[in-house]
Every structure is written in structure tokens, then in C-alpha cells.
A and B are shown apart, each in its own frame.
Chain A
Amino acid sequence: MEFLTILFLIYIFLGLYVFFFLIILTLKNKEEMLSYPEPNKSYAISIIVPAYNEEKSIEDTIKHVAAFDYPKDKFEIIAINDGSTDNTLKVLKKLSKNIKNLKIIDKKNSGKADSLNEGVRQAKGELVAVVDSDSFPSKESLMKLTGYFDNPEMGAVTSFVSIRNKDESFLTRIQSLEYFILGWNRKIMHLIDAMDVTNGPLSLYRKKYVIEVGGFDKNTLTEDIDLTWNILSHGHKTAMCLSASVTTIAPKNFKAWLRQRVRWGIGGLQAISKYKKDFLKKGMFGIFVIPYVSLGIIMGLFSILLSTYIVGKNLLLWLMTSNYLVSNNLPMFQTQDINLIPSTIFYFFIILFALSLFYFGYILTRLKYDKIFTLKKFFNALFYAIIYLTLYPAIWFYAIYRYIIKDYRW
């Protein structure tokens, strides 16, 4: 058997394993996926909204937060103006006239993590929520997150993020699909005690655990990933509530999207580096989360190298052959060139492709992605499954490069 065939078979086996793992957990927990525990008590909650030059969205965000379906005397909003140079502070001050539980902290610019730590320091609640200044949480989302904290070991609970501007460009439409799949997979991770990312748009933390682990790390590009890993590393639990929804704005052009994804990539690498000491230790965190994320990156990188090698080799062969054919006045194409005899590897890929379509379709249906599923949306889903997921690991090359040269710009 050829070396390449062996590599393909390894990938196919791992692909099958991951898909069956996700499908088994999905089917086994299909009733519980969208459910959430009712809280035994009303927790006092401080909602921190850090903002830097967010004059356009901060008003709507604060209004959404203020409208939470939660006892008004049980939550406070802490809006942090992180040295904005626009009218963010002015907007906040105007809002505070009508929203009684809105507290404003105005500070010099020191970054998101530092702002969040300041918010935690000033928070009076037993729980602290973080809401990004461009995110709109649904009314009932906060309440749905609190029930998980009846478990005294629960350290962080995150919500389900969808994209508000999904019709703005092709890229936002694809990301919209991606967020649904990511959300569902995060819930699957929750089911095995391995939920590894609390998102920025809406996440709820137990304040004493945030303080215990040292708060948000200022030296990382993804303070949310770092805090989640830190909480897990300290032996506490994390969870995800698919019913608690929040919308956010996704990058609409490639440049902004790339910048965001590279930042996430660098943040992931920083987390792996920081917590590598916990590898195969500390329960599911060391046994599953760290190896799973690390292996995912390695496999992604390797798949890009492999695809580049195969595509490059065939392209080069085609160019060399074409050169011979053209210079000798020979036909570029003959009917004998058609080979419709598929290999076993091809059939395996068809199985994997069918499994992924089935899985994605199921998720989109369960999460009510769209009432009307048009042909265009079907092609978007195909694009996501075939092109987007295949090319996505290429981002890791740039992220690794920036990580190595310590270029930690946002």
C-alpha cells in the first residue's frame, strides 16, 4: 500500500471516529440538548460590558442587557469605558439617566482583559456576566444560564452565539452556518465535561472562582479561552446552554475575518503553551481538552500540507504534460483520459461527506437555522462543508508564524 493511501486511511478513520462520536452524543442527548436547569435561587449578578470606541452599538447592547428577564434588584450593569476616543462615554452617561442599575467605569485604555478585571473587582454579584459591547443577548438568556450554578463546582457557563449581520456578505452567511455548528459542538463538549471556550458575547462566571484563578489574563489574545482553561485547570466545571441565545456582529470582509481568526489561533496556541503542564492530568481538561485541541491543530496543518502536495504535484504534472502536448501539436484531451472508476478511498470520502451533511443538516434543523431552506442556502452549506472547512486550517500557519515571532497584535 502506498504511503499516501495509508495517510488517507488514517485521516478517514479519525474522521469517522469524530463524526460517530458527535452523532452518538447528539442522538443520545437529543432531548436534553436544548434544555437547561431551572435555578433554585435568584443569584445576584453583575453584568460587565467592556467598551472601546463602540458608540454605534453600545446603546443597543446596554438596552438589551437592561431588558434581561431577571429580577431587576438582582443584577447590576457595569459598563466600562476603556479609554474610548469616540462618544462611547457620552452615550453611556445618557443611558445611565434612565437605567438605574447601570454603573459606569471610565478608565484609561488598558485592554479588554484589564477592563474585565476592573469590572470583577467592582462587581457586587455572586456571579459575573460578560457581554461584548456589540452583542445583543436575548431577554431570557441570563436566567437560562443561572441554573447551572446550583452545582457548587460550576465555574463558567456560556451561551449560544448567532450572527446578526448574516445577510451582509457571503462570508457572513458562511460564518452564520459555522456559528451554529460551533455552538452545537460546544454543547457536545459540555456533555463530556470538556466545554473549553466561554464566548465574549455572553458568558456567566462564578466570581469567587474568577478571583481564585487570577482573573482574566492580560497577556493573552483570547482572554475568554484562557479563563475557561484556567477554571478547568483548577478542577471546576464549565457548561454551555444552547437555549441562551445572543447575537453578535461577524466580520464581513476577508481581511477582518482573517485578523479575527488569526487572533483566535494565537490565543489557542498561547493557551496550549500555558497549560501544557496539565497534559494528561486534571481530569477531562488534561486528558481530553488539551490533546483534542492540540491534535486538531496538528491534523489541520498536516491536512493542508498533504492537500498542497497532492494538488501541487498534479498541477505540475498537468503543466509539464501540457507543455509537451502543445509544443508537439498533440491533443490536450482524449476520451481515454476519462477515468470514472472510483477507488475505495473515494467511497470513504463520500461516506464522510454524507455523514457531515447529515450532521450539519440535523443541527441546523434543531436550532431552527432558517424557516425556508433555499437552494442558495444549500450551496452555502456545501461550500462550508467542502471548501471552508478544508481551507480553514491554513490560518494556523500564519497564527503559528505570528506566535513564534511574538507578534501579538489584535
Chain B
Amino acid sequence: MNNRHAFWLALIVAVLVFWTGILLGVMLEKNRANKLQQFYYESETNIFDILMQQDLLKGSKFCDLVIAENIVFADKIYSEAKNLEKYDNAAKITSELIMLHRRYDVLRVMLWNNIIQQEDCFKNKTNVIIYLYQYNNPSLEVKAKQSAMSKALLELKNKNGLSVILIPIASDTDVKSMKILKQKYNLTLTPMIFINSEHKITEVTSVEELEKYIQ
């Protein structure tokens, strides 16, 4: 019976449509990754520029400028991180964003380290909040906790604006320098909010409670 050709014909059409869809999906995800990559390159250039600038402007009289540059940069990569997270949630086929995520983490560790190096400048003038979270397969409990913590931190940042530098970093993306900093400050638990190299908060806390730790 001629109609039985439909079994093969449908298979061929389904395979064609399916693989076309997969290829378009790969292209779409690559396109999104490329878009973020552009932002990343820009941020990478910025951090090198800032590092160089700070090397040239050593001395307490330039502190305000150093702080301002760091805050602007931290805010920029924070908003890029939000975009990355959204694209990451939508990326189902390719794994390009995982690598980009790691590169952003390196960038954020560089920023954190730079702030540590300029500690005298930042002390008593601005608050540095490091938010360490789990990126790889967090449990439901951890996911819920992280979701609430990031909401609290965003509220805190919105409320206190330029007096807060917020740096969220994934603690489990195998960034070596990150491991060293974690060891240095004995940061063993995640998620954790680490305020001004001093206070370690591992439970979800209200904005008012967090404000007690900042200057």
C-alpha cells in the first residue's frame, strides 16, 4: 500500500525539521554567547585599564577616583552577570556559556583582589560585599536560599547605591585564585555573604539586618 511510504517520509521530514531546529538552536545560543562575549571583552579591557590606572595613581589622594572607578566597574559586571544568568537559563543545547561564566568569575575575582590590594582606600568609605554562591547543581534548598539572598542583596544595593560594591562570584567554577582567596578568609560555606572582609553571613537575612554590617 502506497500509504506505508508515509512512515519513511514522516521520518525523513521529522529528522530534517528536528536537526534544522537543533542547528538553529545552536546558532541562537552561539549568537547569545557571542553577544555576551562582546560585553566580556569590554569588561576585560576595563579591568586591565583600572588595574593600570591604580598602579599609576598610587597614594591616598586618589582614593576617591579609585573607589568611583571600581564601583562603576562592579555595577557594570553585576548587570552583565544578570544577563548571563538569564541566557544561561535559556541555554539548553550548547555549553559555551559555562566557559564564559568561568571567565566572568575570574574577572570578578580580579576585581575583588584589586579591592583587597587597595584596602586602605576602601576602608570606612565604601562597603565591599562579596556574594559566594553555588553554580553547579545546587540542591533545591540551596537554590531557594540563593534566590532569597540575591534578592536581599539587590535590595541592599538599590537602597545604598554607590556606598556598596556588590560582587557575586560562583564559588565552584574551579577558579584557582578564588580558591586561594577562600582559603585566606576561611570561606568554607556557600552561599555566603562576606561583608568588608569581616562579616560572614550564611543564612538569608533581611535588608535591615544586612545594613547593620555596613558603614
Which A residues contact B (CB, under 8 angstroms)?
1-2, 5, 9, 12-13, 16-18, 20-21, 24-25, 28-29, 191-193, 313, 316-317, 320-321, 323-325, 327-331, 334, 336, 339, 341-348, 351
Contact call B21/A339, Cβ cutoff below 8 A: no
Given contacts A5-B93, A324-B148, contact A336 B82 (CB under 8 A): yes
Q: How far is the CA of A174 from the CA of B21 in the complex (A)?
A: 32
A-contact bits for B1-12, CB 8 A (1 contact / 0 none): 111101101110
Q: Is B92 a contact partner of A345 (Cβ separation < 8 A)?
A: yes
A13 and B21 alpha carbons, distance in the complex (Å): 10
Is B24 an interface position by the 8 A CB rule? yes
Q: Which residue of A lies closest to B87 (CB)?
A: A341
Q: Which A residue's beta carbon lies closest to that of B4?
A: A192
A16→B18 contact, CB < 8 A: yes
A344 surroundings in chain B (CB, below 8 A): 21-22, 24-25, 28-29, 92-93
CB distance from B187 to the nearest CB of A (A): 21
Name which of A1, A25, A344, A345 has the most chain B CB atoms within 10 A of its CB.
Answer: A344
Which chain B residues lie closer than 8 Å to A20 at the CB level? 9-10, 13-14, 17
Q: B145 interface residue, CB < 8 Å from A?
A: yes
Query: Contact: A339 with B90, CB < 8 Å?
Result: yes
User: Considering residues B10, B11, B22, B206, which has the most beta carbons from chain A within 10 angstroms of its beta carbon?
Assistant: B10
Residue of A nearest to B143 (CB): A317
Q: Are B90 and A331 in contact (CB under 8 A)?
A: no
Do residues A325 and B151 form an inter-chain contact, with CB atoms below 8 A? yes
A192 pairs with B3, CB closer than 8 A: yes
Where the two chains meet, the residues of B that have a C-beta atom closer than 8 Å to any C-beta of A are 1-4, 6-7, 9-11, 13-14, 17-18, 21-22, 24-25, 28-29, 32, 82, 86-87, 89-93, 95, 140-141, 143-145, 147-148, 151-152, 154-155, 204-209
List A contacts of B95 (CB < 8 A): 1
Total A-B Cβ pairs within 8 A? 119
Query: Helix, strand, loop or mixed for chain B's interface?
Result: helix
What is the minimal beta-carbon distance from A17 to any residue of chain B, in angstroms? Answer: 4
Contact A24:B144 (CB < 8 A) given known A343-B90, A344-B21? no
Whether the Cβ atoms of B90 and A5 lie closer than 8 Å is no
8 contacts between A and B (CB under 8 A): A21-B6, A28-B3, A192-B4, A316-B140, A320-B141, A323-B144, A330-B207, A343-B90
Contacting residue for A317 out of B29, B87, B140, CB 8 A: B140
Whether A339 contacts B89 in the complex (CB less than 8 A), given A16-B17, A24-B6, A192-B6, comes out as yes
Contact A329 B206 (CB under 8 A): yes
Residues of A within 8 A of B93 (CB): 1, 5, 344
Taking chain A's interface residues, is the majority helix, strand, or loop, or is none over half, making it mixed?
Answer: helix
User: Across the interface, which residues of B come within 8 angstroms of A313, CB to CB?
Assistant: 140
Given the known interface contacts A5-B93, A321-B144, A343-B90, the answer about A334 and B151 at a Cβ–Cβ threshold of 8 Å is: yes
- With A and B bound together, what is the CA distance between A21 and B204 in angstroms? 53
Q: Are B92 and A343 in contact (CB under 8 A)?
A: yes
Least distance between B10 CB and chain A CB atoms (Å): 4
A331→B153 CA distance, assembly (Å): 11
Sorted nearest first, the 9 A-B pairs with minimum C-beta distance are A344-B25, A320-B144, A324-B148, A21-B10, A17-B14, A20-B10, A328-B206, A343-B90, A321-B144
A25 to B2, CA, bound (A): 10
CB-CB under 8 A from B155, the residues of chain A are: 330-331, 334
Docked complex Cα distance between A24 and B154 (Å): 53
Instruction: Given A5-B93, A321-B148, A331-B151, answer yes or no on A24-B10 (Cβ-Cβ < 8 Å).
Output: yes
Nearest chain-A residue to B207 (Cβ)?
A330
Complex: how many Å from CA A21 to CA B140? 40
With A20-B13, A324-B144 in contact, is A341–B89 under 8 Å at CB? Answer: yes
CA of A189 to CA of B89 in the docked complex: distance in angstroms?
41
B208 neighbours in A (Cβ, 8 Å): 329
> What separation, in Å, do the CA atoms of A12 and B92 have in the docked complex?
14
Residue of A nearest to B204 (CB): A324
State the CA gap A12–B14 with chains docked (Å): 10
| Contact B6–A2 (Cβ < 8 Å) | no
